[in-house]
A and B are shown apart, each in its own frame.
Chain A
Amino acid sequence: MRVARHSFYEATARRRVDGLLDQNSFREFCGPAARIVSPHLPALGMPVAFDDGVVVGEGTIDGRKVLIAAQEGGFMGGAVGEVHGAKITGLLERAADVKPEAVVLLLDTGGVRLHEANAGLVAMGEIQRAALSARHAGVPVIVAIGGKNGCYGGMSIVARSCDWIIASEEGRLSISGPEVIETVEGIEEFDAQDRALVWRTMGAKHRRLIGEIDALVADDMGAFRSAILNFVGRPRPLDLDALEAEHAMLSRRLERFWDCADGRDVWARLGINDPAAVPALDADSFNGLVGALEGGRS
């Protein structure tokens, strides 16, 4: 029998933080009481949020000290503006100073907040550099994706600059949103209404199968918590050998799959007997399949 789930997808940023950290361990930095809002939205007649759509602070998971940021997907699609971005950058810079056992980034975002576009874009460059600085200081940076917005735009580049990525079956990770591709290149290139196509191209299962993410979990707070704990205190190497290994992995991917038109073609070529069945697999069955594929390779 299955126990009732505590959905990560449905939760707000604050509930995600509460659900993942040890009870009463969270201490927020520059919280809503400080009312640090966007200096740009009022001029556009847009509402502000007292946390500018991101919660940052420190706490513990199973007694282990972490810094954590959670984007609120309900505020402007989790988009990165000047203050929002500066909060995440400051958190990552703090990580290099105080060296917690991990930084956890709960990303739920469409990318740059267009209402403050230039500040948002530069902020993402700063977040990325700060994430890499934290890593160079020996602090692993763990990304979790499982909200309504997925992880798009520049933040998808940030995510792939971190140590580990965890996503639920609902998670998506890509640079371009489906609507953007359809609008610019036409419906023949990408039909954004075709949800199954979106998931086969950008969804967490495809990303796990091609090696873009490290763990796929069910949409459950406890499952995310366990997966995060598994990576706490485990930095990945960041030296020239690691970059060469990444280069070899990505080059091999393009050589093997560049002519594939669909996720199903990629999965078939990976040795999956019934690619059409992949989207319907639950997390456990899917992870069993991944385990069998990886076992077969080694």
Chain B
Amino acid sequence: MSEAASAMDRVLVELFGEDHGVVRDAATLTGVARFDGRAVTVVGTADRAVIGADVALRLARAVLDAMRDEPGRPILVVVDNAGHRLSRRDELMANNGCIAHLTRCLDAARRRGHRVVGLVHDLAVSGGFMATGLSTDLCYALPGSEVRVMAPAAMARVTKIPLDRLEELSAVNPVLGPGVENFIRVGGLEGVWDGDLMAHFREALSRPLDGADMRRALGESRGGRSAAARVAAAVRAGAAA
């Protein structure tokens, strides 16, 4: 077992005990664990997996099964990926359609009353984060993990902004650079789970939510996305200006 995999296993053991029932098949994790005496579906990936069309469908199947087997059963989405898989075959099969299907299953679960909680372990990248963490009710990160759209060196190449300038700007503007802290500030992550994981998970399962998308309001109150909430509200109201 790799170091990352054993770190992942430690998290599962801490949350659900030694007999957590979560099975690993290549990069995917699926299973039904027990938490505070109730069943919890665990679905996700490990080892900085890449989300290909086949991976997306395996995860979607587990979410569909949770909805069919037990209405309202909570779902923990373990997020550990290096993005979507960059390959000709995945594009030929329309990976976007397969990932969209996964996210629609997660969305359906949320709306049908399953509490869907995301937990970033190690890394989440761009389309891989959209496929998983952004489709949850509440998404958290473990200490030391990272969320990013693109590595800074590649971003500098594509945007033609010098790397040092980019890093300087990233330090003051949370919309630009990688990092859990930045994603917390823009409202893309709820917070960090440090210390007692069971207490954090218990809180996430019991928090009252009304189904509204709170991410813009969070981004605004945390000073990371100051315009989005206001602009969306103006358009929603049909305002000319």
Encode contact with B along A209-242: 1 for CB under 8 Å, 0 otherwise.
0101000000000000000000000000010100
Chain A at the B interface: mostly helix, strand, loop or mixed?
helix
- Asked, given contacts A157-B103, A238-B108, whether A189 binds B87 with beta carbons under 8 Å apart, the answer is yes
- Asked, given contacts A175-B95, A250-B98, whether A157 binds B228 with beta carbons under 8 Å apart, the answer is no
Task: Indicate if A36 sits at the interface (CB-CB under 8 A).
Answer: yes
The answer to whether B88 touches A114, judged by C-beta atoms less than 8 angstroms apart, is no
A residues in contact with B95, CB < 8 Å: 174-176
B positions within 8 Å CB-CB of A: 53-54, 57, 60-61, 64, 67-68, 84, 86-89, 91-101, 103-105, 107-108, 111-112, 126-127, 129-131, 134-135, 148-150, 155, 158-159, 161, 169, 173-177, 182-183, 186-188, 213, 215-216, 219, 224-229, 231-241
The answer to whether B88 touches A181, judged by C-beta atoms less than 8 angstroms apart, is yes
Q: Looking at the complex, which one of A44, A212, A243 makes contact with B94 (CB distance below 8 Å)?
A: A212
Q: In the complex the two chains form, what is the Cα distance from A157 to B129 in whole Å?
A: 12
The answer to whether B91 touches A86, judged by C-beta atoms less than 8 angstroms apart, is no
A positions within 8 Å CB-CB of B: 27-31, 33-34, 36, 39-40, 43-44, 56, 58, 82-83, 85-87, 89-91, 93-94, 97-98, 112, 114-126, 128-130, 132, 136, 153-154, 156-161, 173-176, 180-181, 184-185, 189-190, 201-202, 206-207, 210, 212, 238, 240, 243-244, 246-247, 250-251, 253-254, 257-258, 260-263, 266
Residue of A nearest to B63 (CB): A243
The 6 closest A-B pairs by CB, nearest first: A90-B235, A125-B134, A160-B100, A90-B232, A156-B96, A117-B149
Max chain A CB contacts within 10 Å: which of B108, B169, B216, B232? B232
Q: In the complex the two chains form, what is the Cα distance from A245 to B179 in whole Å?
A: 38
Question: Can you list 17 A-B pairs, Cβ within 8 angstroms, ordered by A?
Answer: A27-B240, A29-B235, A29-B240, A43-B169, A44-B159, A118-B183, A126-B232, A157-B96, A157-B99, A157-B130, A161-B107, A181-B87, A185-B86, A240-B64, A247-B57, A250-B98, A251-B57
B110 to chain A, nearest CB (A): 9
Q: Looking at the complex, which one of B61, B219, B226, B240 makes contact with A122 (CB distance below 8 Å)?
A: B219
Q: Looking at the complex, which one of A123, A125, A263 makes contact with B92 (CB distance below 8 Å)?
A: A263
A51 to chain B, nearest CB (A): 11
A residues in contact with B127, CB < 8 Å: 153-154, 157, 175
Q: Looking at the complex, which one of B129, B131, B149, B219 makes contact with A114 (CB distance below 8 Å)?
A: B149
B residues in contact with A180, CB < 8 Å: 86
The answer to whether A39 touches B227, judged by C-beta atoms less than 8 angstroms apart, is yes
The answer to whether B135 touches A125, judged by C-beta atoms less than 8 angstroms apart, is yes
A202 to chain B, nearest CB (A): 6
